[in-house]
Structure 1
Amino acid sequence: MTRHHPNALRRSAIIAAAALTVGAAGTLAAPGAGAATPAGTPKLDLIAASPTVTVDRWEGEPGVYLDLGTYVTVDGGPLELRVTRKSYNDPVVAEQVIRSGSRTVTKALPKGLVKDFSGLPGFLDVSISDQSGAMVAKATQSFCPNNRAGRIQPDAPATSKYPGGCSDNPFALGGVWGVEKGWAAATSQGFREDDAVDLPAGVYTAKVSVAKKYRDLFGMPDKTQTIKVTVRQDSGGQGLAGVKRGQKNTSKSPKPAAERPVGKAAVPADAPKPDLRSLPAYGIAITKGDEGGESAVPGKDYLAFSATVWNGGPSPLVVDGFRKPGAEKMDAYQYFYDAKGEQVGYTPTGTMEWDPRDGHQHWHFSDFASYRLLGADKKEIVRSGKEAFCLANTDAIDYTVKNANWHPGNTDLATACGEETSVSVREVLDVGNGDTYSQYRPGQSFDVSDLPNGTYYIQVIANPDNRLKEQSTANNVTYRKVVLGGTPGDRTVTVPKYGLVDAP
């Protein structure tokens, strides 16, 4: 089952030693001559793990995904960046955080440098030459400091406190990027569609360097790594399509209860609760005559989209299902935890049901979210048939909120949703994380075949029947404006920007 928006398929400082000092207000400022570098300032360098790499060109793919084995190493202190935006009407801003003893200092990155929450854009310059020395391709690559990091020094921390990836959700609100001291992060973000380079099978030479603006920003040496690249044509299998992205499974999430809860059910009034929040729909498109893989129906038009419900905290959403012998459904219970993570209560919260359909085949919690198409007057016209979900932490939405879990465990359906023979299931939506669902399956997208052209709204509602107990329900509903055009059987959709977010 697709849980991400259509473009979400992914395949997988020296900070100038003589240029920065601690300012009086706790920020980094340019010092005079001879000023000392604050303790804990990271020192960054670009290395190549191997002088040679082999990459496959998969049948049906747009090109080669250049994972050239280059890494950014960090010494002197951890590299930490905080990326935020106040609202969707404000730009994304980023700052570097340096912990100098008991003091924390920050340095704002240049305005406009960071565009979203997927990483530092244009970080690497890559040029590719063939065996005659002629340049055949040039590319730039972004860098997510959280990407495929590992330690390179024996005295480095054994585990990283930083998240396992950067967010590609266009409506993310806050991110934390970091590399521990003595660790290195891969510069390649894996298999990103935008990073494909059209190279035939053969032998090439790649030259990789950090863009000057980042060398200047982080005080990195001007260094070029040269790698021999063999491109190998691979016609077997189905390429890398269908690979799900996920984060490292080093979960600190609550573990499943072994048995059905005992004692009197109660919702503790003073215990922290989750705060479910809906994000505007995106990945919006017309599927002409095709509703989620079903046979095309001439003259039919469906409006498909992706939507995210996330948990703003301060407590995780924890729902357990328990199955009575022979029962077709599970009884669902929501659990509550105090500030120390100790369970302090639970309450019945509906049911879970097994979905046997191809592409599902897992346990769904009922009535988690609802999707509706509204007219220009915001009155309901069409309702999606999708309301039951297996909860999974598919997207990092805001890792700067209180109690955000940077290492959620259940990041895809395979980790959380159980099997047909399961007697119990635990489904969790951790703080700071969202569950993205793409409405591209039968009965889920909106049939707009007979609707007149004009303005409509996609309404996303979290917790529509208030089955779940949460901190607030004031932020459970969002609307995304769409404009239908074209003719029956050949409809079009235009999606205006949402504030500054241009994500159709």
Structure 2
Amino acid sequence: MARRALLAVTAAAAATAVLLGVPGGAAADGPGATGVGLLPDVVEEVPSHLQVQNTQQREWLRFTTVHINIGVGNLQVRGGGQVEPCEIDGESYPQCTVATQEILDAQGDVVQTRPAGVAVFHPEHNHWHQSTVAEFAVRSALDGPSLVDGAKITFCFVDVEFTGATGSLKKEQPRTYWECNGDLQGLASGWADSYHQSTPLQELDVTGLPAGTYYLTHLADPDDHWLESNEDNNFTWVRFRLSRKGANPEVTVLDSSPCVPQVICGFGGNP
């Protein structure tokens, strides 16, 4: 989980940019930049597969999420090379490296870079994650505060399924990003990456939450690490009823955010 991921346990978000030699929050032209950068646009599928799981006397709302790049450019993130300890939301990790978003042109050349947080080796998933990819919360109203401890989540980015074709054409599309390493990760244009509800950290603690109607919200890139063509389509939600009539809580999905674009509703399914 990540709120601010900083090398050497620094306290300011701008430290990442300083390590990269770039002013905090500003984009910098890459050397020899001549092409026009093609920007990604990462949207989030409406959370699915909601279920309450009882573990060690705690109740966890589990759910599946899918990231989909509908932009004309790839989301490409490169590690900084040096590996040092870091702290993420009070939790220490022994292996971290600064991350940089690389904007590519039509020829695949890097024409712009942007500080993109930190890449961290995640012990539960046994691979490298990008910091602060998503933020989950449970609310009684969309504009209300989180009723449980909200979580900023780290993720690995790889091309899992192509969204721009069907049938045999879908299977013939070559993947650009396929490894969760600390050097290079990404989500190519037209591709989706999914995290099933059984994956560690796809959960929120709802122990003791009264029966009622709630919203599970999913915000992508909450710390604005990525430069995208559209920064206004990173939020999805699902409204659900939590019932406590039996021994185990039950979840019934009632409604969700609009399916715009259509691909954000029901694309991922069970992997």
Distance 1:471 1:491, change over 3 A: same
Matching residue's letter, 2:158: A
Q: 1:301 to 1:280 in 2, by over 3 A?
A: same
Kept after mapping to 1: 8 A contact 2:96/2:118 = yes
Q: What is the SS of the residue equivalent to 2:50? A: strand
Q: Does 1:473 align with 2:240?
A: no
1:301/1:490 contact within 8 Å kept? no
Change (3 A) 1:385 1:376: closer
1:50-79 per-position Cα deviation (integer Å, ceiling 9, x unaligned): xxxxxxxxxxxxxxxxxxxxxxxxxxxxxx
Which of the residues 48, 51, 55 maps onto 1:285?
A: 51
1:433 to 175, 181, 191: 191
Tell me how far 1:325 sits from its aligned partner: 5.6
- How many residues align structurally? 223
Q: Confirm or deny that 1:316 pairs with 2:74.
A: yes
1:311 Cα deviation after fit: 0.8
2:107 to 320, 326, 340: 340
CA distance in 2, matches of 1:342, 1:425: 17
TM superposition score normalised by structure 1: 0.40
State whether structure 2 residue 126 is matched by structure 1 residue 361.
yes
Q: What's the offset of the Cα at 1:425?
A: 1.4
Query: Which ranges in structure 1 are unaligned for 5 or more consecutive residues?
Result: 1-260, 291-295, 419-423
Partner of 1:449: 207
The structure-2 alpha-carbon separation of the partners of 1:481 and 1:263, relative to structure 1 and needing over 3 Å to count, comes to closer
Q: Which residue matches 2:147?
A: 381
Identity among equivalent positions (%) equals 27
Larger-gyration structure (1/2): 1
Conservation of the 8 A alpha-carbon contact between 2:176 and 2:188? no
Task: Report the CA distance between 1:282 and its aligned residue.
Answer: 0.6
Moved over 6 A (4+): 261-265, 499-504
Letter of the structure 2 residue corresponding to residue 433 of structure 1: W
What amino acid maps onto 2:111 in structure 1? V
C-alpha change, 1:442 and 1:308, in structure 2 (3 Å) is: closer
Question: Once the two structures are superposed, what CA deviation does each residue of 1:128-185 show, in whole Å capped at 9, x if it has no partner?
Answer: xxxxxxxxxxxxxxxxxxxxxxxxxxxxxxxxxxxxxxxxxxxxxxxxxxxxxxxxxx
Calculate the TM-score normalised by the size of structure 2. Answer: 0.71
Corresponding position of 2:14: none
In the alignment, which residue of structure 2 is the partner of 1:266? Answer: 28
- For the 8 Å contact 1:386–1:444, the answer to whether it is kept is no
Tell me which amino acid in the other structure corresponds to 2:136.
Answer: Y
1:405-420 correspondence runs (5 A): 406-410=173-177, 415-418=178-181
Q: The residue matched to 2:254 in structure 1 has which SS?
A: coil
Any idea what the Cα deviations from partners look like across 1:393-428, whole Å, max 9, x if unmatched? 22333449xxx9932143xxxx4113xxxxx51001
Q: Distance in 1 between matches of 2:59 and 2:247?
A: 6
Helix, strand or coil for the counterpart of 1:467? coil
Residues 438/386 of structure 1: CA separation in 2 closer, same or farther (3 Å cut): farther
TM superposition shift of 1:383: 4.1
Structure 2: state its 5+ residue gaps: 1-19, 86-94, 260-264
The 3 A distance-change label for structure 1 pair 361 and 477 is same
The residue aligned with 1:349 is: 116
Counterpart code for 1:366:
S
Distance of 1:339 and 1:378 partners within structure 2 = 40
**1:391–1:347 distance in 2 versus 1, CA, 3 Å:** same
Change (3 A) 1:391 1:450: same
SS of the residue 2:159 aligns to:
coil
Q: Aligned-pair RMSD on alpha carbons? A: 3.3
User: Judging changes above 3 Å, is the alpha-carbon distance between structure 1 residues 440 and 365 closer, same or farther for their aligned structure 2 residues?
Assistant: same
1:372 to 123, 130, 137: 137
Cα distance, 1:262–1:370 mapped onto 2, change above 3 Å = closer
Match of 1:102 in 2: none
Equivalent residue for 2:222? Answer: 464
The structure 1 residue matched to 2:42, chosen from 264, 272, 276, is: 276
* 1:436 aligned partner, one-letter code: S
Q: Is residue 240–residue 255 contact of structure 2 (8 Å, CA) maintained in 1?
A: no
Alignment of 1:19-418 (within 5 A): 266=28, 271-287=37-53, 289-290=54-55, 296-297=56-57, 300-324=58-82, 328-357=95-124, 360-376=125-141, 378-379=143-144, 380-385=146-151, 387-399=153-165, 406-410=173-177, 415-418=178-181
How many angstroms apart in 2 are the aligned matches of 1:487 and 1:426? 48
For 1:340 and 1:270, the matched residues in 2 are separated by 10
Cα distance between partner residues in 2 of 1:496 and 1:309: 22
Report if the CA contact (8 A) 1:371-1:383 is conserved.
no
Note if contact 1:416-1:425 (Cα within 8 Å) is conserved in structure 2.
no
1:341, distance to aligned residue in structure 2 (A):
2.3
Structure 1 residue 486: Cα displacement: 1.8
Query: Are the aligned partners of 2:212 and 2:241 in contact in 1 as well (CA < 8 Å)?
Result: yes
State the AA in 2 paired with 1:417. Answer: C
